[in-house]
Chain A
Amino acid sequence: AQSVSQHNHHVILSEAASLELGCNYSYGGTVNLFWYVQYPGQHLQLLLKYFSEDPLVKGIKGFEAEFIKSKFSFNLRKPSVQWSDTAEYFCAVLTGGYQKVTFGTGTKLQVIP
């Protein structure tokens, strides 16, 4: 069965620091990959997605992620975080004929002004 690992559970950064959140998945076949964000009190929103195009994917609000197939990774990056990026970030993988989506456990990001 597929699984998704997010290694950082809680990250604290100062504004303007660079961000990289790790995501690794286990699945041998074709995958589609996503990063979702959940701001406090809001529902899950899509940050970016990988659907077999350029492995470097750009999303909203200056976020990007790189799909490295050989490493089964899809790390999220942002060169300079803002206080408004404080949220929980979830990596997810879509696999298989039944189109099941599996989420990681999430990373809470706290940005200090």
Chain B
Amino acid sequence: DTGVSQDPRHKITKRGQNVTFRCDPISEHNRLYWYRQTLGQGPEFLTYFQNEAQLEKSRLLSDRFSAERPKGSFSTLEIQRTEQGDSAMYLCASRIEGYEQYFGPGTRLTVT
């Protein structure tokens, strides 16, 4: 499969726990994006990487959120001390310049 993959697909956690999600982009794509999507809303931009450099972060990304892309390939998104309001679908997308984004299937987070 040569598409964007995300792991895990579903995560249920208790409030206060830390969670980490992984995204593997399409191999030649140097640009990687994280979004959050809640019911009835479009994807909300969280952060963007070009290669290993994190070039932009949304104000939505509080201090409890951190993202990395250490070797310019896969990326991780960590949420510390989760809150119920963090429950959402977390989407990853990748692209190369001049082309559209390709989305992964998402990780659905439920914080109880």
Contacts and interface: CB of A to CB of B under 8 A. Distances in A.
B13 to A, nearest CB: 22
Interface in A28-64: 34, 36, 43-46, 49, 51
Contacts of A44: 43, 91, 93, 103
A50 to B, nearest CB: 10
B40 A101 contact: no
Interface residues of B, number: 24
B101 interface: yes
User: Chain B CB within 10 Å — which of A92, A101, A105 has the most?
Assistant: A101
A4 B45 CA distance: 13
Mostly helix, strand, loop or mixed at chain B's interface? strand
Nearest to A34: B100
Contacts of B97: 99
A106 B48 contact: no
A49 B42 contact: no
Interface residues of A, number: 21
B31 interface: yes
A46 B95 CA distance: 12
Interface of B: 31, 33, 35, 40-45, 48, 50, 55-56, 91, 93, 97-98, 100-106
Interface of A: 4, 6, 34, 36, 43-46, 49, 51, 90, 92, 98-106
